[in-house]
Structure 1
Amino acid sequence: MQGDEALERERDAIVAALTPVVEGVAATFGPLCEAVLHDYRRPEASVVAVAGSVTGREVGGAMSEIGMRVLARGDEAADELNYVTRTGDGRLVKSSTMVLRDSTGAVFGALCLNLDIGPLSQAQSLLSGLTAPGGPGGRDADSSVGVPVTTFGNDIDSVVDAIVDAHQLHGHPSWAGLDRAARLELFRSLDEHGVFAVRRSVEQIAGRLGISRASAYHYLSQARATDRAEPGPSPKGARP
């Protein structure tokens, strides 16, 4: 349809206009900053521009689990600003994810800023220790304790694997250790995090859990049916 083609051209134009902004932002904030431009029309290769090196992203790389969460919320997604997470190698990162919308309000991408605040936190702790009265030890031994780990990867399969690991292991080391309610909750949680918006994700998750693809589709269908049966709004995003 002509309308769809016009919207695609509009989205392409927005992405093209923001591409030089990525370099400008990273250059302004220096080596501790990374700017990443995502086009969610291609979830497996959503990174279309990147400047700086905080999470190791590359052009053509996959979205993170944060991007999947935005994708799952669809057009209901909102900007997520100034949240703190931790990379797989332990770096503390302060991030903002700003969604991109076309003229109809549809979400199709995001501009993400990642700031490595580890050195800044260390400097702050040092200054606090030098200026605070009293003995050694300080008030906050490690303010980063409990900060969630986010998987940033250029390979979408590694990101999906990390999300499955994080959601499966709630005291149960295997699929066999989960009862039906827990299995449905696992699939519901994965669905809410946007995992099933990625191509081949059902097959990948079935392999990780040691079940058939048919069983995985069955549990996903049952989890969604349960959500629809529950009272109250339950916004859903993109579906496979």
Structure 2
Amino acid sequence: MSKEDPRVRTWSPVCEAVAALLGPYAEVVLHDAVTDRVLAIWNPMTQRGPGDESLLGELGDLAGRDVHGPYEKLLADGRRLSSVSAVLRDADGDAAAVLCVNLDRSTLDQAAALLSRFGAPATERPEPLFEQDWTERVHHVVGTFVRTRGRPVERLGREDRLAVLAELDEAGVFSMRRAVPVVADVLKVSRSTVYALLAEIRTSRSDS
């Protein structure tokens, strides 16, 4: 880089800071907006260097807006880049330099692919593995109910609790010893509340 150029001296600290923050995944390039040449480059991803052509025609009319992007670019090896360019103006408002930051998306793409695999749709639950674990059934029933309603257990209303307790009762959960304390803990209510609602459910069934 030509540190003799006043534009490089002015903007070098900014470019170095961005390169230090995003390196080694980002290339920072300072272009001459007048001669369309590279002034300086940090963390280069290609063989180009100071004095090489910038080919800034891709940014269009520099007299318009000063920030362009993010936009996508491709390297010859197939890597995708997310790029953003900023027009740096002199005291008269004329474009003096263009600062470009090219972020290599390879690592991000790999991370996104990994996360998407973790988020793959679940297959049907193998019930034989869970039929003896009634506490697991409690969590499964309540968790499914909460997801369907779209609100946490603390915000379930009285009718919601009646519905989920009825489902648990039909599943035979309350035939198990110490079921009421476990259900009360999961629903974040008192044991007396569970007993009262359960009695109401069973009374309603016997009357119907």
* TM-score, normalisation: structure 2: 0.51
1:48 pairs, out of 39, 42, 46, with 39
Aligned-pair distance for 1:77? Answer: 4.7
2:84 pairs, out of 74, 77, 96, with 96
| Residues 48/14 of structure 1: CA separation in 2 closer, same or farther (3 Å cut) | closer
Is residue 70 of structure 2 the alignment partner of residue 82 of structure 1?
A: yes
Is residue 58 of structure 2 the alignment partner of residue 69 of structure 1?
A: yes
Q: What whole-Å deviation, never above 9, does each CA across 1:70-124 have from its counterpart, x for those lacking one?
A: 3x51422531122122122211000100011112221132000001001210111
Counterpart of 1:119? 107
Structure 1 runs (4+) deviating above 4 angstroms are none
C-alpha distance in 1 between matches for 2:54 and 2:99 = 12
2:27 pairs, out of 26, 29, 34, with 34
Q: Which structure 1 segments of 5+ residues have no match?
A: 1-11, 136-240
C-alpha distance in 1 between matches for 2:23 and 2:58 = 28
Amino acid at match of 1:53: P
Counterpart of 2:18? 25
C-alpha distance in 1 between matches for 2:6 and 2:105 = 33
**Preserved contact between residue 15 and residue 39 of structure 1 (Cα < 8 Å):** no
**Preserved contact between residue 91 and residue 118 of structure 1 (Cα < 8 Å):** yes
Counterpart of 2:48? 57
Kindly tell me the number of residue pairs found equivalent between the two proteins.
119
C-alpha distance in 1 between matches for 2:62 and 2:15 = 24
C-alpha distance in 1 between matches for 2:58 and 2:65 = 9
Amino acid at match of 2:32: D
Counterpart of 1:233? none
Amino acid at match of 1:108: A
Aligned-pair distance for 1:61? Answer: 1.6
C-alpha distance in 1 between matches for 2:25 and 2:58 = 25
Task: Tell me the secondary structure at the aligned position of residue 30 of structure 2.
Answer: strand
Structure having greater relative contact order (Cα 8 Å, sep ≥ 6): 1
Counterpart of 1:216? none
Q: How does 1:210-225 map to 2 (within 5 A)?
A: none
**Preserved contact between residue 54 and residue 115 of structure 1 (Cα < 8 Å):** no
C-alpha distance in 2 between matches for 1:121 and 1:100 = 31
Counterpart of 1:228? none
Give identity over the alignment, percent: 36
